[in-house]
Amino acid sequence: MTTEPRSSLEVERKYDVGDEASVPDWSLLPGVATVGAAEPRELDARYLDTADGRLAAALTALRRRTGGSDEGWHVKRSTPEGKLETHWPLDDADEAAPPDVPDAIVAELAEVAQPPFEVIARIRNSRTAFALLDAAGDLVAEFVDDRVTATDERSGRTSSWREWELELGPAAPATAAGVAELFAAADELVASAGGAPAASESKLGRALGR
C-alpha cells in the first residue's frame, strides 16, 4: 500500500427510524436551499479488532469497506469534536477474506493494538444519500437513509434496522451556535417523522449489542 492516507473530522447526528418513515423535507433546515438527487450506494464492511478488544477500549474502530466513493480501509477515532477518520484506498492485492490488515494500518494502530486482528462484525448497508446544498450550491450536509443488515461474527447473531445520518459538509455553519441550531432543527424534522436520536453511537456498537 503506497498511497498516502487522508484524514477528515466527521461531525454528524444519527437517528433511529421505523421502516415506513418518510424522509423529511431537508430544505427546511437553516442554510439549505436545495436537496440533491437520491444517490444509491451498496456498502459492505468488515470490522476488525483484537481478541481482547483493544481497539474498542481505545474508542477506535477499524474496517475494510467496499462500495461507495470512499471504499477502502478506515480507522475511526472518537474525539470530543467528532469522529476522526483516516482512509486508505484498496489495492489489487487486498482481497483476502478475512482481510489481512496492511502494514501501514498496523503501524497507525501500533500505540493502541497489535496484530493479530480478527473480523468481529460484518455490516451491509443499502444506502440512499442526498446532498443538502446552500444557495451557492455548496454542501451544507449530507443526509443518508440507511437500511442495515449486520452480523456479529463472534456470536453469529444477525440484526437489521433503518437509520438516518446527517453529516456536516464544508458549507456547514462555522460557529458552535450555528451547528447547534442546525442539529436542533434536524431533530425536530426527524421527530415529526417518528424518529429519534440513535440509541447506539455507531453501527458497529449496535451490531455487537453495545
pTM of the model: 0.92
How far does CA 177 lie from the centroid of its chain?
Answer: 24
Q: Which amino acid, residue 117?
A: F
Which residue, among 144, 147, 75, 149, has the nearest Cα to 105 in the 3D structure? 75
Tens of pLDDT along 99-146?
Answer: 789 999 999 999 999 999 999 999 999 999 999 999 999 999 999 999
Tens of pLDDT along 22-32?
Answer: 999 999 999 99
Position 91 pLDDT exceeds 80: no
The conformation of residue 174, written as its DSSP 8-state character, comes to: S
56 in Cβ contact with 49 (< 8 Å) = yes
For Cα atoms 90, 210, 119, give the angle at the middle one, nearest 5 degrees.
30
3-7, 68-72, 179-183: lowest mean pLDDT where? 3-7
State yes or no: cis peptide before 98, omega within 30 of 0: yes
Question: What are the CA-CA distances from residue 13 to residues 134, 135, 143, 185, 187 (Å)?
Answer: 19, 23, 10, 12, 9
